[in-house]
Structure formats: structure tokens, C-alpha cells
């Protein structure tokens, strides 16, 4: 039965309540709280039962047919919720707002929170990853994009030119799972994000106009920033339904402060995850992540994705690493102290949002406890930033919160003795009465002589005296006991004095629980006043932790301080690819990358598996490491600051978008050619191999000429077209290098050593002969190669323009003829014998050709 078919006048009141709520949340699955379950109904139930493999049942609601229903226990809902969110659904949690025990008639229910990918509950998040939700606000002449991580309070805005590619790249490269867009946006963007990147996109135009959030953009003049962030904020306030005043002031991202690269480059260079398994392990992030705190881990990831271009800041970071490298003891001490610091950013978000528990407070206290030492160490290191220690908040938490407090806030056990006198008195009363009850057992045993007598407690009868079956006959009326329960093993009795004490205990208990809860929320409110100060501390600690991680990684892997030069030169001695080096069992062969003022392009030749692409990646990784402020994997490094990196490396996974590999190659090449500046780095790995040889070669050459003459960016270009190496004669700033390999005892060994000059041209044929291809064939290949290498051929190739026809060979002519014969027959009009004859003739002709 469908929701739309329901006659609202006939349906039960509870189902009516459900339908009213559901109407407000059409695109959202409603978890409707009914006692100990969250129930789903109608289409939601059908969908959830399918996605979560739950049994679909039905509920009677006054209609002839039962309403489809499926449910999950409320105490185990998180796993189910996560699964649905992961699959891209939104879930609204409709809670019971009044206690069923105290309510006559219908329990009130309403949505208390909508959970989506971007607004997920914190404890399901990876601690070392951020969780941004984003928006695109189309101003029709520009795009405003903002990013907010509710769990940490970070928020960013960027204003982009009105180019779709830019907007898409910004969203995709921040790994967003959910994006809100205004309705002016081109639907192509929405479709692209949904289908290619499985991003949850919501179209809505609401803008938050609460003055309370003006502070977010008070330092920024551009009004578009306020509009953009208010658009996203409005959605968050509608879904989170809570206070978001922990959000930190918006940071305006300006692209010229960052080394830019697109999402393909990020993937190809395996900066934060590997291409094959999408795994953090064996990525650059994995190699450098020696951070001790969640904040440091998140900052590291953000920094790797957004390296800097600010020379002073980068040199500052190198200076700090250099200092830390010499301060062995302080460095170790700092690491130990940072290890005690919990995720301050997410803790204060929870405090501010009002859903923190006593354990969060203990974590906050322990973190604050490490601050005085950290402050001292930073001073001793002459670190250029310091931190507050918030001693008063530490003292408050230290004297108030019980160290073994439970997670729940309604079971007591939260507050330490000595913090509040009223609470202490109540606890005394409870304790004395409990002692009194314990004494009763002793006294009654003595008074009655019944040795097996015991005092016990259960929720139904409260305190009782239990006597075993064998002794029941000894119980006398004069004791004044009242029989309450008969068991197979004995009898249970209550007495007036037991009940009197019980009332005192239970009364005290209830008062204690209430008082503890109130005291706890008071302390939490107090802590809330410190939120922005804690956020500032957290930022500094994150930076310290990240730089410490760089130091440890540099020490462990033998990295060197780079020199950032103002000259247009690259001078890397004995460079390595840090991850390949770490992961490979074989020894890594170091390579120099030298590109003086007079060299803009290195044309790299060499057989497959020689190490061409590793060499290129090595340069890009070195540049990125230098521009995040880390030391670099080589003996010596002098490089300029780059503004952008463009890559065309490896297979592209854009095949989902229906474009051929070659088209994607050309688009990426175009991206580089139209956006690169002299200060960019371009890496092209075997560009042009996706099309026919001559086409590919011609394009590769034209692109090289273009870069050489017009862009002048430092470029590494690997190719297996030996013919291109001749370009060095005409293009003065292009140099040939090759990756060598040797033959030893009939086996090819790749030396992975990059040397000047072009590769030995007959190398491929040599490898083929080692692979034991027939002698005749090898001989023929050598003849053909000679033709290719002849001056004649070379001239012909150089003279060929992009669009000229290449004369077909005899073999091509023959194949063309056979193709047209096949095209001209119609198999449906042929008899089997005719078809067989035709096939026979074709085969004969083909054999003749050979
Ligand atoms: P190509 O691009 O020439 O086909 P790759 O760069 O993919 O070759 O390298 C092939 C393999 O050789 C890599 O997976 C790596 O394990 C190894 N390799 C490459 N360069 C080196 C090096 N300098 N030292 C050690 N091993 C290397």
C-alpha cells in the first residue's frame, strides 16, 4: 500500500501523526520512535527493508489493509543509520517528546535531527578525517562555494569565476559527500556530481538570516561570502536543529595562496589514498602521518590537499623542523604530552551543541592537563606561538567530574564527593540507610536465630528479608514480618522499618540523580564559555603536531631541507620517491633531476617498467612535500615555488563519463596548456598513446613545441616515440634523458637510473629477442626499424602536418579491400554454402598477402 492512497480520515491517530511529520520530510526516511523501536512505514519501510535486509511486516492502522512497516531496536539504531547514510539517504529521527508514562492520550513526537552524509553524528566519524558538507551558490556571474565541518567548527568560503569545471573541481577535490545548491545552478553540474561522484545533492534556496551567525563573516567585506555561507547554514540549522555557535569564523580561501592541482592529479600522485584500493595505506599521507592528535591528523590531510605558496611560511616551517631535529629530548617529551590530548575540536563542538557526556568532560580535563607542559616545551623550543593553559577550567573539571562516570547522564555517578555540600549530604543519607539495612541482617539473625536469613533488593518489592525453605517454619508472628512472595527456595518478607529506610534511600537516590544532572549541565555551560579559546589552542596544537610529524618522518626517512629559490631552476640530487622507497623490497635507485634556467622540458625515454613514471611522480611529490613545509626525499634540493601542478599520468578512471581514454587525455592536456604559467609544473606520461602512432606522435610534438615556446613551464614528458628525441635539435630548452636497463645472463635488469641522452633505439627489439620471439620476426623488425630511422622517413614525418593524410601501406590497402568486400555482402541472403565459400576465399586472400 502506498502512502498517497491512504484515507487520512480513516487512519489511526498515531499514523496520522506519522503522516503529518512525513509530509514535511518528503525526501527523507523517517525513523519514527515507538517505545523501544524506530519504525518505518510505507515506501520508507519497503526501501529500508531492502537496503538493510530487514523483515517487512505490517501494522493495523484502521484501514482494511495493513500498512507496510519495518523496525529497528532504538539501542542498536546507529549501525542501521550509518548504512543508510553511506548509501546516500537522509534520515530524520522523530523522537517521543513526552514521556509515555506521564502522558494521557497520544505521545508527542517530532523530528529532532536529520542525519545526512554531511551532518553525521560525530562518533561515527573517522577521527583523522574531516567531514565537510558544502554548497555551491550560483550568482550567475560567479560561484560561491562554502565548506563547513560541523564536527570541528571549521568553515571556508571561496568565490570562483563562473566556470563549471572550477566549481566541480572544488567540490570533488574536497571529497564532499553532500552538497547543497541553489536553484539557479546549471543542472549539468548537479547531474555530474550525482552520477560521477555519487554526491548527495539538495537543491534549495533558503538563506539563514539569524543575526546570531553574523560573526562568522564579520571580518570579510565581500557580501557574496555571507550569502554563500548563509545558504549552507540554513540547511544545517534545519537538519541539526541545534545551536551551531561553535562554528569558527569563516576563512576565505584565495587560490593564489595555494599550490593548485586538480582531483586527477591528487589521485594519480596517491596523495591521500592509493589508486588501486582507495586505501590510506601507501599514500603520501600514510607516510607522513606520525601525528599524535586527531586535530594534527586532520590538518595534515588538509595541508597535503592544499599546499602553500607562501615562502615565509614555508621557511618558517623548515626552521621549526630543523630546530626539533636537534632537540631530541624536548621532541620526545612533546610527543608524549600531545599523546594525552584528545580531539579538542570535536569535544568542544559536542559541548557547545549540548550533547557531551561526563566522559567527554574527563577527556577535556585530561587534555587541558597536558597544556602547561606543552606550553613550557614550546617556550623552550622558542616556538613562535604559545598556548593558553585554561587552569581555572581544568580545576573546575578536576574537582567536579567523577573519573569513572558513566556515559549516561541520568544514572548518577557523575559528580565527585566534596564538590557540592547538598549532594554530599544526600549521599550520606543514602549511605547511612544502606548501612542500616546491612545491619538489619545481622540484628535479625541474632534476634530470630535464623542463620540462613538474608536481606536482598529487587525492583518490584524493594528491600526484603529472605528465608530459605528449611527455616520458614521458624518465622514467628511476633517478628512483625509481612510475607510478600513465595519462591520454590523459600519466602520473602518485608518489615516496616525496612520500608521506612527504603523510602529514604530511594528518595535520596532520585534527588541525587537530579542534582547530579543539574550540576553536570551547569559545568557543561561553564565549559561552553571556553569554546572559542579551546578552538584557538586546538589550532596551535594541530600545527605543532603536524610539524612534529614532519620532523619524525624526515628523521626516519632521511629527508633534507629544501631551498626555495627565486630562480627558474630545479636542482635535485639523489632524489627518491618516498613511498616507493618505503614499500619496495628492492633498494631504491636515486636519481638527480636537474633543470637549469636553459632547460624547461625533460623528454624521458626508456622501455616499459624502467621507472619513467616513478621519476616523474618523484618530482611532483618532492614539490608537494616542500610546499606543505616538510623536508624532502633527496640529498640536496633547490626548487622554485610552483603555482600549479598538471599531470597526465596513468589510466584515467573517467571512463564512467563515457569518454574515450584519448578524449580524457586530450582534455587533461588542454587543462594544462590553457591554464599553466611559467611557474607551473607539468607532467605528461606517454601523452598521445591513446591514438594511432602518427596522430599521437604529431600531437605530442605539437604540445611539446607549444609548451616550449609559449608556456615555458618546467615539464617532464615521457614517451616511447623515439622519433621525438630528435626535437632536442630544434627546441633548445628541451633535453633528452633516458632510463636505462641492461641484459645480464639472458635477463633484462632495469637499473632505474636516469641518464642524459636518448635511449638506445633498438632496445625494444632487443627485449623482444630476449623474450624469445622467432628469429625471422626479429630480423624483419630490425629491417623495418632501419626504414623508420632512415633520414628519408624522418623528413617525411617532420614535414607531415597534423591534418595531412599518411600514404597507406600495401598491407593497409589489402585490409581496406577485404573490409569493403565484407561490408558489401548480406549474410541473410546467402546460402550456407555461399557463406562458406566466401569465408574460404577471404582466408585464401589473406594467406596470399602474408
Ligand atoms: P615506467 O613508467 O617506465 O613503465 P614505472 O615508473 O612504473 O615504469 O616503474 C616500474 C617499477 O619499477 C615501479 O613499480 C617500481 O617498483 C620500480 N622502480 C621505478 N623506479 C625505481 C627506482 N628509482 N628505484 C627502484 N625501483 C624503481
760: pLDDT strictly greater than 70: no
Atom 17 of ligand 1: nearest residue by CA position: 611
The rounded distance, in Å, linking the Cα atoms of 691 and 683 is 19
Specify the pLDDT at position 655.
42
SS3 state at 248? coil
Q: Confidence band (pLDDT; 50, 70, 90) for 798? A: very low
Binding site membership of 609 for ligand 1 (Cβ less than 6 Å): yes
Q: Which of 605, 606, 609 to mutate to test the pocket of ligand 1 (most atoms within 8 A of CB)?
A: 609
pLDDT at 159: 95
pLDDT of residue 408: 84
Residue 338 is placed in which grid cell? Answer: 600531545
- CB 610 less than 6 A from any atom of ligand 1: yes
**What is the model's pLDDT at position 734?**
95
| Rounded distance from Cα 263 to ligand 1 centre (Å) | 23
**What's residue 678's pLDDT?**
95
Pick the range with the lowest mean pLDDT from 119-133, 270-284, 488-502, 827-841. Answer: 119-133
Cα angle 28, 45, 59; round to 5? 125
User: How many angstroms does the Cα of residue 546 sit away from the middle of ligand 1?
Assistant: 30
Mean pLDDT of the region 654-678: 75
> Hey, whose CA ends up nearest to atom 5 of ligand 1?
611
pLDDT at 809 over 60: yes
Distance 9 CA to ligand 1 centre (A): 73
Q: pLDDT exceeding 70 applies to what percent of the chain? A: 93
CA distances to 255, 714, 715 from 711, rounded to whole Å, are 20, 9, 10
Q: Give the model confidence (pLDDT) of 67-122 as tens digits.
A: 999 999 988 888 899 889 888 899 999 988 887 777 778 888 998 888 888 887 56
Q: Rounded to the nearest whole angstrom, what is the distance from the C-alpha of residue 612 to the centroid of ligand 1?
A: 7
**pLDDT given at position 325:** 97
Q: Check if the beta carbon of residue 190 is closer than 8 Å to that of residue 164.
A: no
What pLDDT is recorded for position 498? 86
The response to whether residue 759 sits with its C-beta less than 6 Å from ligand 1 reads no
Query: Ligand 1 atom 6: the closest Cα is on which residue?
Result: 611
pLDDT for residue 688: 72
Environment class of 304 (CB within 10 Å of its CB; exposed 0-12, middle 13-18, buried 19+):
buried
Residue 770 has pLDDT above 80, yes or no: no
Distance (angstroms) between ligand 1 centre and the Cα of 595 equals 21
225-284 pLDDT, tens digit each: 999 999 999 999 988 777 888 999 999 998 889 999 988 899 889 999 998 888 899 999
- Indicate if ligand 1 lies below 6 Å from the C-beta of 752: yes
d(CA 390, CA 398): 12
List Cβ<8 Å contacts ≥24 apart for 662-668: 662/690, 662/691, 665/690, 666/699, 668/264
Average pLDDT of the segment spanning 832-843: 87
pLDDT of residue 119: 80
Confidence (pLDDT) at 157: 96
* Residue 657 confidence (pLDDT) above 60: no
pLDDT value of residue 8:
82
Contact of 160 with 329, CB cutoff 8 Å: no
% of the chain at pLDDT higher than 90: 54
Whether 588 is in the pocket of ligand 1, judged by its Cβ within 6 Å, is yes
Does residue 797 carry a pLDDT above 50? no
Quick check: 665 pLDDT over 70?
yes
Dist. CA 357–CA 349, nearest whole Å: 12
393 lines ligand 1 (CB under 6 A): no
The DSSP element (H or E) to which 735 belongs, if any, is strand 734-744
Question: Contact 778/760 with Cβ under 8 angstroms?
Answer: no
The backbone torsions φ and ψ at residue 105, rounded to the nearest 5 degrees and listed phi first, read 80, -145
Q: Residue 97: its pLDDT value, please?
A: 84
pLDDT digits (tens, 9 = 90+) for 4-23: 888 888 888 899 999 999 99
Task: Report whether pLDDT(465) > 60.
Answer: yes
pLDDT, averaged across the chain = 88
Tens-digit pLDDT profile for residues 528-556: 999 999 999 999 999 999 999 999 999 99
Segment 169-194 shows an average pLDDT of: 92
Return the closest-CA partner of residue 794 out of 730, 748, 843: 730
Instruction: Place 790 in a pLDDT band, splitting at 50, 70 and 90.
Output: low
- Take residue 56 and report the three cell numbers written for it: 517487512
Residues 158-181 have a mean pLDDT of 91
Using pLDDT thresholds of 50, 70 and 90, give the confidence band for residue 843.
confident
What is the model's pTM?
0.81
Dihedral angle at the C-alpha atoms of 712, 718, 722, 727, nearest 10 degrees? 0
Q: What spacing in Å lies between the alpha carbon of 588 and ligand 1's midpoint? A: 9
Amino acid at each position: 500500500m502506498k502512502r498517497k492512497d491512504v484515507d487520512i480520515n480513516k487512519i489511526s491517530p498515531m499514523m496520522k501523526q506519522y503522516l503529518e511529520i512525513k509530509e514535511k520530510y518528503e525526501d527523507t526516511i523517517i525513523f519514527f520512535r515507538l517505545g523501544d523501536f524506530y519504525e518505518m512505514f510505507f515506501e520508507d519501510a519497503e526501501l529500508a527493508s531492502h537496503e538493510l535486509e530487514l523483515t517487512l511486516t505490517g501494522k493495523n492502522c484502521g484501514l482494511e489493509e495493513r500498512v507496510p512497516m519495518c523496525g529497528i531496536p532504538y539501542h542498536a539504531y546507529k549501525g542501521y543509520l550509518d548504512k543508510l547514510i553511506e548509501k546516500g539517504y537522509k534520515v530524520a529521527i522523530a523522537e517521543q517528546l513526552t514521556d509515555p508514562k506521564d502522558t494521557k492520550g497520544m505521545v508527542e513526537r517530532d523530528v529532532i535531527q536529520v542525519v545526512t552524509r554531511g551532518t553525521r553524528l560525530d562518533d561515527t566519524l573517522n577521527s583523522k578525517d574531516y567531514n565537510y558538507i558544502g554548497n555551491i551558490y550560483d550568482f550567475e556571474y560567479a560561484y560561491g562555494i562554502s565548506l563547513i565541518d560541523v564536527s570541528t567548527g571549521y568553515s571556508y568560503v571561496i568565490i570562483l569565476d563562473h566556470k563549471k569545471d572550477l566549481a566541480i573541481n572544488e567540490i570533488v577535490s574536497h571529497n564532499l559527500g553532500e552538497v547543497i545548491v541553489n536553484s539557479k545552478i546549471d543542472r549539468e553540474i548537479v547531474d555530474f556530481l550525482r552520477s560521477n561522484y555519487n554526491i548527495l545533492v539538495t537543491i534549495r534556496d533558503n538563506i539563514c538570516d539569524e543575526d546570531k551567525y553574523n560573526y562568522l563573516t564579520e571580518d570579510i567585506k565581500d557580501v557574496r561570502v555571507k550569502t554563500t555561507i548563509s545558504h549552507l547554514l540554513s540547511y544545517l540549522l534545519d537538519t541539526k536543529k541545534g545551536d551551531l555557535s561553535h562554528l569558527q569564523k569563516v576563512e576565505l580561501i584565495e587560490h593564489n595562496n595555494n599550490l593548485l592541482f586538480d582531483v586527477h592529479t591528487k589521485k594519480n600522485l596517491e596523495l591521500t589514498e592509493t589508486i588501486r584500493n582507495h586505501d590510506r595505506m601507501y599514500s603520501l599521507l600514510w607516510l607522513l602521518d606520525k601525528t599524535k592528535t586527531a586535530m594534527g591528523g586532520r590538518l595534515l590531510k588538509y595541508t597535503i590537499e592544499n599546499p602553500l605558496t607562501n615562502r615565509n611560511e614555508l621557511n618558517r616551517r623548515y626552521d621549526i623542523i630543523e630546530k626539533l631535529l636537534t632537540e631530541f629530548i624536548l621532541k620526545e617529551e612533546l610527543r608524549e604530552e600531545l599523546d594525552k590530548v584528545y580531539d579538542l575540536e570535536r569535544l568542544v563542538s559536542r559541548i557547545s551543541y549540548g550533547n557531551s557526556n561526563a566522559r567527554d568532560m574527563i577527556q577535556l580535563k585530561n587534555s587541558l592537563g597536558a597544556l602547561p607542559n606543552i606550553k613550557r616545551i614550546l617556550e623552550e623550543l622558542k616556538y613562535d606561538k604559545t598556548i593558553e593553559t585554561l587552569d581555572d577550567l581544568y580545576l573546575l573539571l578536576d574537582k567536579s567530574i567523577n573519573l569513572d562516570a558513566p556515559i549516561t547522564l541520568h544514572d548518577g555517578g557523575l559528580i565527585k564527593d566534596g564538590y557540592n555540600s547538598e549532594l554530599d549530604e544526600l549521599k550520606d543519607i543514602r549511605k547511612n540507610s544502606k548501612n542500616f539495612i546491612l545491619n538489619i541482617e545481622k540484628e535479625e539473625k541474632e534476634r530470630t536465630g535464623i542463620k540462613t536469613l538474608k536481606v536482598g533488593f529487587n525492583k518490584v518489592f524493594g528491600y526484603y528479608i529472605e528465608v530459605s525453605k528449611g527455616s520458614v517454619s521458624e518465622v514467628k508472628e511476633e517478628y512483625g514480618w509481612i510475607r510478600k512472595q513465595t519462591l520454590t527456595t523459600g519466602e520473602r518478607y518485608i518489615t516496616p522499618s525496612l520500608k521506612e529506610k527504603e523510602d529514604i534511600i530511594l528518595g535520596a537516590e532520585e534527588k541525587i540523580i537530579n542534582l547530579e544532572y543539574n550540576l553536570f549541565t551547569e559545568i557543561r555551560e561553564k565549559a561552553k564559555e571556553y569554546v572559542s579559546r579551546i578552538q584557538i589552542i586546538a589550532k596551535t596544537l594541530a600545527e605543532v603536531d603536524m610539524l612534529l610529524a614532519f620532523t619524525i618522518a624526515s628523521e626516519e626517512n632521511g629527508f633534507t631541507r629544501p631551498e626555495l629559490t627565486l630562480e627558474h631552476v630545479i636542482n635535485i640530487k639523489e632524489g627518491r620517491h618516498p613511498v616507493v622507497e618505503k614499500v619496495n623490497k628492492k633498494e631504491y635507485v636515486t636519481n638527480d633531476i636537474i633543470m637549469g634556467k636553459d632547460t624547461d622540458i625533460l623528454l624521458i625515454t626508456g622501455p616499459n617498467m624502467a621507472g619513467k613514471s616513478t621519476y616523474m611522480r618523484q618530482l611532483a611529490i618532492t614539490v608537494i612535500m616542500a610546499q606543505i613545509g616538510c623536508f624532502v626525499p633527496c640529498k640536496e634540493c633547490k626548487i622554485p615555488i610552483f603555482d600549479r601542478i598538471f599531470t597526465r599520468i596513468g589510466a584515467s578512471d573517467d571512463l564512467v563519463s563515457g569518454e574515450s581514454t584519448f578524449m580524457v587525455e586530450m582534455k587533461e592536456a588542454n587543462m594544462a596548456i590553457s591554464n599553466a604559467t611559467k611557474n607551473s609544473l607539468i607532467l605528461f606520461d606517454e601523452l598521445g598513446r591513446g591514438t594511432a602512432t602518427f596522430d599521437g606522435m604529431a600531437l605530442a610534438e605539437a604540445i611539446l613545441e607549444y609548451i616550449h615556446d609559449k608556456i615555458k613551464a618546467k615539464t617532464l614528458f615521457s614517451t616511447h616515440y623515439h622519433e621525438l628525441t630528435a626535437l632536442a635539435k630544434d627546441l633548445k630548452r628541451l633535453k633528452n634523458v633516458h632510463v636505462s636497463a641492461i641484459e645480464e645472463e639472458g635477463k633484462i635488469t632495469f637499473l632505474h637510473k636516469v641518464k642524459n641522452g636518448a635511449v638506445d633505439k633498438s632496445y625494444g627489439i632487443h627485449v623482444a629477442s630476449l623474450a624469445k620471439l622467432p628469429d625471422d620476426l626479429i630480423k624483419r623488425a630490425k629491417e623495418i626499424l632501419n626504414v623508420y630511422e632512415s633520414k628519408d622517413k624522418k623528413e617525411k614525418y617532420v614535414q607531415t602536418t597534423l591534418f595531412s593524410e599518411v600514404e597507406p601501406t600495401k598491407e593497409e590497402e589489402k585490409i581496406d579491400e577485404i573490409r569493403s568486400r565484407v561490408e558489401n555482402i548480406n549474410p541473410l541472403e546467402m546460402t550456407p554454402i555461399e557463406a562458406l565459400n566466401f569465408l574460404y576465399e577471404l582466408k585464401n586472400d589473406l594467406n596470399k598477402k602474408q
